[in-house]
Amino acid sequence: MLVGGKGFFIFLAVVLLGYHLLRGRRAKYTFLLAASWVFYAAISPYYLWVIWLLTGIDYYVGRKIEGETDEHKRKRWLVVSIVSNLGLLVAFKYTVFFWDTGVAVANLFADVPPRAWDILLPLGISFHTFQGISYTVDIYRRQIKAVDSKLDYALFVAFFPQMAAGPIVRAIEFLPQMAMPPVPTAQQIQDGTFLFARGLFKKLVIADQLDLLFVSAVFNDPSAYSAVACRWAVLAWAVQIYCDFSGYSDIAVGVAKWFGFELPLNFHLPYLATSIADFWRRWHLSLSSWLRDYLYFPLGGSRGSTVRIYFNLMLVFVLCGLWHGATWAWLAYGVYNGLLMSLHRVFDQAMKGRAWAQRIRVSQPWAVFAWLATFGQLLLGLILVRMTGWSNGAAMLEGVLGLGEGAKLVPATVPLLVLLGLAGHGWEIVRERLPRLAWSWDPLRAVNAAACLASVAIFSPGVSKTFIYIQF
């Protein structure tokens, strides 16, 4: 598969070479757009029309919104964009979920045959639909101007490094960089190489190895494993999903730098969060900020009645869960996080203005307690989205709580891989707190990148596993 196999490296080399050899803005961008559509078609060959259709609709709608002076007409055109993007997203992503739910309800009264068909998800539809919506909304809010060039807008939507699994890039971040084809600086080339190597290491050496060696086996049959093994499996799953997704983001941001473009970083040490709100300010930043700016704030945010505020929080996180996957487990994950966010707000409001509470909350012991409590909450929530069924999830929870009777233990390599997956958090802390190390940062990164690539060559499992977030 092009996005995860050896074909990607050949594709990337050809595109980089062709792009930098071409001269002229239009030639470069036409070539890069064509390459991005080839990338899309290689993975979703029957759905190229989806990205073409939405690109055309949003480009046209953006022009109409900017050209209209009547506020009602501007709003109607905005609705066209939102309905088009969300309509196709819902049709492809949620039809099966709604159908199966309806069949399950109908089976309470009569025998209904199970579904004998399926719908494949177009590549990156959860990401580029949100990019299209943010573009037309920002024009409606008069925060940006509609782009004149169809070529520029199409490339913004289809730019292949981040097309499959983000980060979700906004037009206000990307389109200004396209004024003239950017020439990558030496620093960008260095940074891109480091990020690319680090992303490959996270994905192939840590995430895939953890899944193949341990995570899938335990989650498929948690009753066969000891309580210690179940706890390690949940921790390993947390490291796996972080290294898989942040690995993709690192590769996407790194490759974009080789073309001279800057994409937003998607993670900032999420497992150092000291509250659930802090976690969502660190994890999948492009989605969290999108939901905040285009859903939570328009709903009223933290303004209005208490009931309305908590309704807004719950709705945002329920939709966040469903954005990730059209299953009851992902819905439960959204509800779980919405409840945690609501409880966190209740606690914050109760402690506000109390001098004694503020003294405690800025102390080191409290920071450690808050981190442990937050990390425990995150691990329990991740069981929901990895379990293979509700009974399986209950068995996993029993194992984690030490109520299971399984005997299988933890492979010796698992703790090492988990520590490797979390080592980046520790290094970033050191780098932020000891800025004097900056003089040695570039040489250390060069050594780190070389070690990552060598590890990939030696320890990669040799089995091409799709990036987890491509499925969303």
Tell me which of 284, 324, 344, 425 is the catalytic residue.
324
Comparing C-alpha atoms, which of 62, 256, 252 is closest to residue 267? 252
Residue 433, class by beta-carbon neighbours within 10 Å (0-12 exposed, 13-18 middle, 19+ buried)?
Answer: exposed
Q: Is 324 a catalytic residue?
A: yes
Query: Which token pair is 304?
Result: 């209005």
Which positions are catalytic? 324
